[in-house]
Amino acid sequence: MARTSYISVLRIVAIFLVILIHSSSGYLNSNDFESFDWSYANWLNSFSRFAVPLFVIISGALLLQKDESTGQFYRKRLLKIVPPFLFWTIVYLLYYFIRYIDFDYIGFPQVINIVLIRLKSGTNAHLWYLYMILGLYLAVPFIRKIVGNCSKRELEIFLGLWFAALFFTNKWFNSYLPNFDLTFFSGYAGYLVLGHYLRNYPIQMVKLSSFTFFLICCLITASGTSHLSVSRGEFDPTLYNYLSPNIALSGGFLFIFVQGLKLPEQLSAFWEFIDIHSFGIYLCHILLLNYIHPLLQLPTLWKIPVATVLTLLASALLTYLLRKVPYGKYVSG
């Protein structure tokens, strides 16, 4: 099995599940916890929430291996991230104004205020990922030096402290724990180290065991979210948090499971196409999903997966076409 083969599979799984999250999340706002739509959306989300952390784990598996100067890394990586970041920030800002704002009722000061508010964390909700990943990329050269000088045992200690920090920095768990300062070990950087560790020191588990543990973590997310929501009387996304222990374990166990599969050295042309366009798919999929989802006159059982598949295909095609226009490859993602 080629080492990059399982990475490609994980990336494809992650981008599909990100779209599935966005196809199903709207049903969770109904607070009708006994309805099929809410339960179905909760189960789909619970088995998908690790998708964004999985992207970061993949980045750690790939980026922390390399030996290059800080300047080289910044030039190479930031040039791949910043132009698409600026382009799609503008696209979604224009989309927001065109679709939701009536200029007959707001003035120039209100427009500026809306722009500033939306630029704070992303002109569309999913663009928060770019803000996060830019911060991580700035840290990668320094994290490389740390992990490069760590033994396997030291990496395991770091990951153990990071996993503990997931409890101490989570507002729900934190209310039951002392205020130890574990901020150094907290955050998405732990996913980078986890990816580096799993690639260099693959955990030899029976495939059935790793997949079973993965299922258990997802079941905890689903049943826990249902219980918390019913108790609160409104949707409670505490266990959906990307930095929750259950989500971290879900992503880690799925990585271990796929890493242990006997995959072909090269994927088929279709899956290779999805893989190489995955970043662009992430960036543009909300734009297309917002039109595809309402057009489907299907029961919820089928509407969510069909909308997900169609959005995946349409987003891959749009990314491909953008890369064909002059300078499009620099901004498409």
- Global pTM reads 0.94
Torsion on CA atoms 87, 45, 293, 93, rounded to nearest 10: -20
- Residue 4's pLDDT is what? 78
- Residue 249's pLDDT is what? 97
122-to-89, 268, 292 alpha-carbon distances in Å: 7, 35, 22
Start-end of H helices in the chain? 3-24, 36-46, 51-63, 70-100, 108-121, 128-148, 152-168, 171-174, 189-200, 207-232, 245-259, 269-276, 278-295, 300-324, 328-331
Nearest to 214 by CA among 19, 25, 54, 20: 54
138-to-133, 173, 184, 243, 305 alpha-carbon distances in Å: 9, 29, 16, 20, 36
Query: What is the 8-class DSSP label of residue 326?
Result: T
314-to-274, 280, 281, 323, 327 alpha-carbon distances in Å: 11, 11, 9, 14, 21
- Residue 1's pLDDT is what? 38
3-state secondary structure of 315: helix
Number of domains in the chain: 1
**CB 22 within 8 Å of CB 286:** yes
First CA to last CA across the chain, in angstroms? 28
- Residue 200's pLDDT is what? 94
Q: How far apart are alpha carbons 46 and 201 in whole angstroms?
A: 28
- Residues in the chain predicted with pLDDT less than 70, given as ranges, are 1-3, 174
Parent domain of 18: 3-331
**CB 4 within 8 Å of CB 201:** no
Q: Which residues lie closer than 8 Å to 185 by C-beta, 6 or more apart?
A: 158, 161, 162, 164, 165
Query: What is the 8-class DSSP label of residue 236?
Result: -
